[in-house]
Structure 1
Amino acid sequence: MHKFSGILSVLLTVACILPGHATAEAADSPHVAIELNAVDAVEGSCRLSFLIQNGHDADITQAVYEAVLFDTDGRVALLTLFDFGTLPAGRPRVRQFVVPGQDCAGLGRLLINGAETCAGAGVPVDACTTGLRLRSRTKLEVQG
């Protein structure tokens, strides 16, 4: 029994080390991070505020994402494009989009369906989608 507990101890140690190592490696990999930072009702419309960061070594000169907004019942409320514009390398940017006629309280989820456009000198073709990191500081779930 003593031999088994020693092997189990080694396996648990390896299991604990490997995920941490992979996470640290992933944190350093080039990526784009999009955070839904705020959702505010504005004159019968809904304003979505995003914090976006380009984690690549080169500037992204144009980043346009296809987004799908779902209502609280899970039905598609709107399919649209969000043009985040120029994203300088390593610098955060805030972008806001107003969805006319949409009640913020009626929204349940936001899906980033993919990148419609991702351009920049020295930027890989898949720079806006590979390693995409999504987060929400609101009640709206963000998926990709």
Structure 2
Amino acid sequence: MTAPHRAIPCLAAVLCAASLTLATPSAAQDASPSPQLDLALNAVTPTEAGGCRLSFVIRNDLGAAIEKLEAEAVLFDAEGQVATLTLFDFGTLPAGRPRVRQFDLAGQTCENIGQVLINGIGTCEGAGIAPGACLDALRLSTQTTIEVTG
């Protein structure tokens, strides 16, 4: 047997393996995007009363509407000390659509807020939404100088 005849079975095996790889969907194609609840601190503005208004953009990508969402928040001052513990009531959040929610903090100047810690989710209610789904899917970001963590 000459060398070219030995190459044909090897070439056939390589082509067969390649065709199986192309016919099988990859794991990335099978994986659906993971559910997310995106919460971004979008703006911080002083109020006329001397407080601070926090504006959040929140997008519910859990696949179902949230009927009520309350987040436990801790505000830290510029020196890193706990300044305030509060609840942010984000209310109703439709699936797949962004919403803006604003919270006025009386007696708290914007310059004195150094960090917002989302300490937990107190309430996360909606048809087909598991109790821990909101916290598990929470993704935090900021477009301000104030750090947002959770």
RMSD: 1.5
Between the aligned partners of 2:146 and 2:89, the Cα distance in structure 1 is 20
- Number of residue pairs the alignment of both structures matches: 121
Q: Structure 1: where are the runs of 5+ without partners?
A: 1-20
Residue number among 84, 87, 92 corresponding to 2:93 in the alignment: 87
Q: Of the candidates 16, 40, 43, which is equivalent to residue 38 of structure 1?
A: 43
Q: Helix, strand or coil: the match of 2:108?
A: coil
Q: TM-score, normalised by structure 1?
A: 0.81
Matched, 1:99 2:101: no
Give me the whole-angstrom Cα distance separating, in 1, the residues matched to 2:108 and 2:63: 37
Tell me the amino acid that sits aligned with residue 72 of structure 1.
A
Residue 140 (structure 2) pairs with residue 134 (structure 1): yes
Structure 1 stretches of 4+ moved >3 Å: none
Tell me how far 1:124 sits from its aligned partner: 1.3
Q: Distance in 1 between matches of 2:64 and 2:137?
A: 16
Quote the residue 1:113 is aligned against. 119
SS of 2:133's equivalent in the other structure is: coil
Question: Match for 1:59 among 55, 65, 86?
Answer: 65
Q: Name stretches of at least 5 consecutive residues in structure 2 with no aligned partner.
A: 1-26
Aligned residue number for residue 10 of structure 1: none
Is residue 32–residue 127 contact of structure 1 (8 Å, CA) maintained in 2?
A: no
> Does structure 2 conserve the Cα–Cα contact (< 8 Å) formed by 1:45 and 1:98?
yes
**Percent of paired sites with the same residue:** 56
Using the alignment, how far apart are the partners of 1:131 and 1:86 within structure 2? 17
Match of 1:128, SS? helix
Do the aligned residues in 2 keep the contact of 1:69 with 1:79 (CA within 8 Å)? yes
Specify the SS of the correspondent of 1:130: helix
Residue in 1 that maps onto 2:4: none
Q: Secondary structure at the match of 2:136?
A: coil
Larger Rg: 2
Q: Give the TM-score normalised by the residue count of structure 2.
A: 0.77
Distance 1:84 1:93 in 2: 9
